[in-house]
Amino acid sequence: MASDRVVIVGAGQGGVEAAISLRQKHFDGEIVVVGDEPDLPYQRPPLSKDFIKGGGQLRGVQLRDGSFFAERKIELLLGRSVTAIDRASKSVRFENGEVMSYGHLVLATGSRNRKLRAPGLDNPAVLELRTLQHAIRLMERLPSLGKVVVIGGGFIGLEVASLLRAQNVEVDVIEAAGRLMGRVVSHATSDYFRAFHLQHGVRLHFGVTVESVEYDSEGCTVLLSDGRPLRADAVLLAAGVVPNVELAAEAGLHVENGIVVDERLLTEDAAISALGDCASYPSVQAGCMVRLESVQNAVDHARTIAERLTGDAKRYDSLPWFWSYQGDARLQIAGLAAPGDQEILRGDPESRKFSVFLFRDGRAVATESINDPGIHMLTRRLLSAGVEITPEMACAPDGELKALLKSS
Ligand SMILES: Cc1cc2nc3c(=O)[nH]c(=O)nc-3n(C[C@H](O)[C@H](O)[C@H](O)COP(=O)(O)OP(=O)(O)OC[C@H]3O[C@@H](n4cnc5c(N)ncnc54)[C@H](O)[C@@H]3O)c2cc1C
C-alpha cells in the first residue's frame, strides 16, 4: 500500500541506515531505496584511506551484501534516479518516467564535489574522489602517476596526498586559504598537519588558486594565481562539496545551504524528511542551523528519522564527531568548534600525541585529538552528557576527567 511505503532517495550511508533502522524498529511497510550509483551501497571513508592501499577490496567498503537487503525486504533500486517529487500526489518520478507513490519520503541525496571554474578543470582527465567509481579510476591510474597536483587542503585532499606520498608520488597541494582544513579545525591542529605533511614531502601552496590547467602529451601544467606553473601527470580536485538539493528545491521545499529541516529532521512537508550531507538542521550544540558532512551525522539522522516514523519522535541532539586519517596521523574531533574559540593544548605536539580543547564563553565545545583516542572518547562522552569542562580541566590528569564523567 502506498500509504505505508517509505521511499528513500539516496543509497549512501544515511539512506541505507534509514532503511536498516526502520526494519530494526519493526516497521513492516514497504521500503524502497533509490540510488543513482551503480554499485551496492558502500561507505565513502575507506575510499581515501584503506581501499586503494589495500588494492581495492570491495568487501572492505560495502555497507552490506545484496542478500542482507533482500532478507529484510528492503528494495534497492540501484543505477536509478529520482528526477521529481510531486508533493500533492505524494509520488516521485524516475528518470525513465515511472512514478512511485510514497507514504513518507526521505531525502538522503548527499553532496557532490564542488567544481571550480578555471579553464581545464572541466577536462575529463581531472581526478576526483567522491564515489567508488572515482576511487577505482584513481587506483587504475596510480601506477602511471609520478606527480599529482591536489586542489584543496581539506580532509579529503590531505588524505589523498598521504595516500599518494605512500606510493612515492610527488604531491603539490593547492590551498586557497592560509592554513590546512581551516574551515573546520583549530590553528594548533592546522599547524600540526602542516608540519606533518611537509615532513612527508608534500609541497604545500597557501593563498593561491588555480588559474588554468593545460594538457599536453606528457601530462599537464597547472598555472597558479601567483603566476607559478606546476608540472604534473594529473590533477585531483578536492575543493569541498555542495549539497544535492535541486530535487527538493524544485519541489518547493525550503533550501538554504541544504534542505531545511526542523529539530525532528522534518521538512515543512510533514511527509518528507531529509538527512545527512544534504540537510540543514537546527543544532543544539551550535545554537544555529548547520549542515555537516560526516558519517556520524548521516547515521544518527537516519536513526532519529526511523524512530519518528515508528512512533518515537525525538529532537535530534547527537553530539557531532568526526575522524580523518592522514598517513599515520589520526585526527578525531568531538563537538562543534567555531572561529574564535579559545584553544588550549593538552599534551605536546612534538610527542605526536596531543589534544586541543576548544572553549567558548569558558566552556568546552569541542576537542580535536591527534593520535590521542583515549581523550577523544572521554571528551566525546563528557560533551555528549553535557558535562561542563572548564579551561582548568583541559590539562587535568586523565583520572580527573574520568571522575568528572563518573560523577555526571
Ligand atoms: C573520500 C571520502 C572520505 C570521507 N571520509 C570521512 C571520514 O573519514 N569520516 C567521516 O565522518 N566522513 C567522511 N566522509 C564523509 C561521509 O562519507 C559523508 O558525510 C556521508 O557519506 C554522507 O552520507 P549521506 O547518506 O548523507 O550521503 P552520501 O553518502 O553522499 O549518499 C548520497 C547518495 O544519494 C545519491 N543521489 C543523489 N541524488 C539522487 C537522486 N535524485 N536519485 C537517486 N540517488 C541520488 C548520490 O549519488 C549518493 O550515492 C568522507 C567522504 C568521502 C567522499
Query: Has residue 301 been placed in a domain?
Result: yes
Tell whether 255 and 221 lie within a shared domain: no
Asked whether 201 and 165 are in contact (CB, 8 A), the reply is yes
Query: Has residue 118 been placed in a domain?
Result: no
Residue 54: the pLDDT is 87
Query: Has residue 222 been placed in a domain?
Result: yes
Tell whether 349 and 389 lie within a shared domain: yes
Tell whether 142 and 291 lie within a shared domain: no
Asked whether 18 and 108 are in contact (CB, 8 A), the reply is yes
Buried b (16+ CB within 10 A) or exposed e, 315-334: ebebbbbbbbbbbebbbbbb
Asked whether 206 and 179 are in contact (CB, 8 A), the reply is yes
Q: Residue 18: which domain range? A: 2-112+242-309
Nearest to 109 by CA among 10, 247, 6: 10
User: Where does a domain end: 195, 219, 239?
Assistant: 239
Which atom of ligand 1 is nearest to 17's Cα?
25
Query: Has residue 76 been placed in a domain?
Result: yes
User: What CATH number is attached to the domain comprising 63?
Assistant: 3.50.50.60
Please state whether beta strands 147-151 and 170-175 pair in parallel, antiparallel, or not at all (unpaired): parallel
Asked whether 84 and 251 are in contact (CB, 8 A), the reply is yes
Tell whether 39 and 108 lie within a shared domain: yes
Query: Has residue 124 been placed in a domain?
Result: no
Q: Cα angle vertex 61, ends 301, 139, to 5°?
A: 125
Nearest to 350 by CA among 333, 371, 334: 371
Residue 2: the pLDDT is 44
Residue with cell 605512500: 166
Tell whether 340 and 193 lie within a shared domain: no
Query: Has residue 126 been placed in a domain?
Result: no
pLDDT tens-place values along the chain, 408 residues long = 346 999 999 999 999 999 999 999 999 999 999 999 999 999 999 999 999 988 888 888 999 998 999 999 999 999 999 999 999 999 999 999 999 999 999 999 999 999 999 999 999 999 999 999 999 999 999 999 999 999 999 999 999 999 999 999 999 999 999 999 998 999 999 999 999 999 999 999 999 999 999 999 999 999 999 999 999 999 999 999 999 999 999 999 999 999 999 999 999 999 999 999 999 999 999 999 999 999 999 999 999 999 999 999 999 999 999 999 999 999 999 999 999 999 999 999 999 999 999 999 999 999 999 999 999 999 999 999 999 999 999 998 888 889 988 887
**Total domains present in the chain:** 3
Residue 406: the pLDDT is 86
Please state whether beta strands 111-113 and 241-243 pair in parallel, antiparallel, or not at all (unpaired): antiparallel
pTM of the model: 0.97
Query: Has residue 281 been placed in a domain?
Result: yes
Q: Which residues line ligand 1 (CB under 6 A)?
A: 9-15, 34-37, 44-45, 47-48, 81-82, 108-111, 129-130, 156, 244, 247, 276-277, 293-296, 298, 322-324
Which residue's alpha carbon is at the smallest distance from atom 38 of ligand 1?
A: 109
**DSSP conformation class of 40:** P
Residue 210: the pLDDT is 98
Tell whether 194 and 259 lie within a shared domain: no
Asked whether 360 and 338 are in contact (CB, 8 A), the reply is yes
Select from 129, 138, 295 the residue to mutate for testing ligand 1; criterion: most ligand atoms less than 8 Å from CB: 295
Query: Taking the CB of residue 256, how many other CB atoms lie within 10 A of it?
Result: 11
User: Where does a domain end: 239, 263, 279?
Assistant: 239
Tell whether 247 and 106 lie within a shared domain: yes
Tell whether 212 and 360 lie within a shared domain: no
Query: Has residue 127 been placed in a domain?
Result: no
User: Where does a domain end: 239, 256, 275?
Assistant: 239
Tell whether 12 and 84 lie within a shared domain: yes
Cell digits for 72?
Answer: 529484510
Cell digits for 102?
Answer: 510514497
**DSSP conformation class of 49:** T
Tell whether 158 and 206 lie within a shared domain: yes
Strand partners of residue 149: 172, 235
Tell whether 138 and 195 lie within a shared domain: yes
Tell whether 101 and 247 lie within a shared domain: yes
Nearest to 229 by CA among 216, 242, 240, 238: 216
